[in-house]
Structure 1
Amino acid sequence: MKLNTLVSKTLPSLLLLCSSTTFALDSAEKFKVAVVKHTTGADKIVAGDYANGMKDIEMKKTIDFNHAMNLCAAQIKTYKFDKAEESCTKAIDSLSVNATRGRHGKLLKALAYSNRSIAKHLNNESYSAYEDLLTAKSLSENSIILDNLAYFKSSTSMTTSAGLDTVAAD
């Protein structure tokens, strides 16, 4: 699939799935997880049928950006945070440098970083999660990313030391 086709078909069809996972439940319901609409497994994931959505995606011979994003979202919703992080990393890595030069490509990559930060945060990797959110924000100041960053900051203690932001979980 050509890069412009991927970006033009993916961007308009992104859905948000509010994560409803206790630290995971209490914390995750405030985060917004991106899902790519009109792709394998998306409808099932949005409907809450995560297992079958993941099964549909995993049956694909190749996992592209869209599938990796959806798989990541479903894995977050099913508390498989390590696997979610891997899937989001696949989504990030699947976008070429050329894909992320334009505004739409940067947004797609930013949303993948945002999803990965949620998986990391819910897996008690707050510092790394914060780094991903900052990377996402540097790529796009989309409201999804800004909302996730604001919630992340409100749910953790932020301190500054030697010019570096550090995170300590409450």
Structure 2
Amino acid sequence: MCIRDRDLSDGDLSDGDLSDGDLSDGDISDGDLSDGDLSDEDLSDEDLSDEDLSDGDLSDGDLSDGDLSDGDLFDGDLSDGDLSDGDLSDGDLSDADLSDGDLSDGDLSDGDLSDEDLSDGDLSDGDLSDGDLSDGDLSDGDLSDGDLSDGVLSDGEAYTERNK
């Protein structure tokens, strides 16, 4: 005798309705289980299997992205943004190479102060860009101890309409 889903309605099953022997060894096979039932070979999603783990579960051999494995990370190969003894990603500080805008002992990017070279508008001991004050030379419109540009008052000479 085989009991089918359509043969029983809710509440039809009682301790006495089924006698011993109604369930035969062949009615339920090892391979066919309903969804959510546990089988030695087939596990539903999120169930734990020795060999197959769902995403995010930890396996002795395989680790999901972002998990640390003793062999998965090497001393030389690091993902972007991670610090390596030899190689640094863009924007990280390296003893020899610096990205644009970072300070280096020898080379400075535009707008940074260097002992020898200054970009336009920065102050240098010897050379000044237009509009900056120098001990000896001043651009038009700046005040100097000895030389004054047109229209500026000097200690010895003053140009006015009355002195014409």
- Scaled to the shorter chain, the TM-score interval is under 0.3
More strand by share: 1
Larger helix fraction of residues = 1
TM, length-normalised to structure 1: 0.18
Higher relative contact order (CA 8 A, sep 6+): 1
Larger Rg: 2
